[in-house]
Amino acid sequence: MTYELKFFKTVVSNRKAVVKVEEVSDKWIVYFQNDDHSDFINSFKAFGFWVSKTDTINPYHVLGTFPEDEARKVWENISPRLKTPDHVMKGTIPDLED
């Protein structure tokens, strides 16, 4: 089975984000990037988003899903650019044998 991942840089709620579109499952995953001095991180912790610290230039990122109204805002931001993603990954998932 083949898969395709598309990554779009966009702004959601006035914050920089990377949206990953999985062609296999049509699932939208939004990664927010921000620094450790922002209330943005704490507010998203309160909403139940998963937050982790990394050693990259952007030391914190938020991974989560949106309610429908917020998801529509994400769609409005990236839909004009769906033909030109910032990055595309393609590959093959090997078939599992019994």
* Numbers of helices and strands, H then E, in the chain: 2, 6
pLDDT band (50, 70, 90) for residue 89: confident
Strand partners, 60: 34, 53
Assigned token pair, 68: 């429908």
Nearest to 64, CA basis, from 80, 81, 41? 41
Residues 33-72: pLDDT tens digits?
Answer: 655 555 555 555 555 555 566 655 555 555 665 666 766 6
Pairwise CA distance, residues 91 & 55, whole Å:
27
> Scanning the structure block, which residue is given the tokens 């990953």?
20
Residues 72-84: pLDDT tens digits?
Answer: 676 676 666 666 7
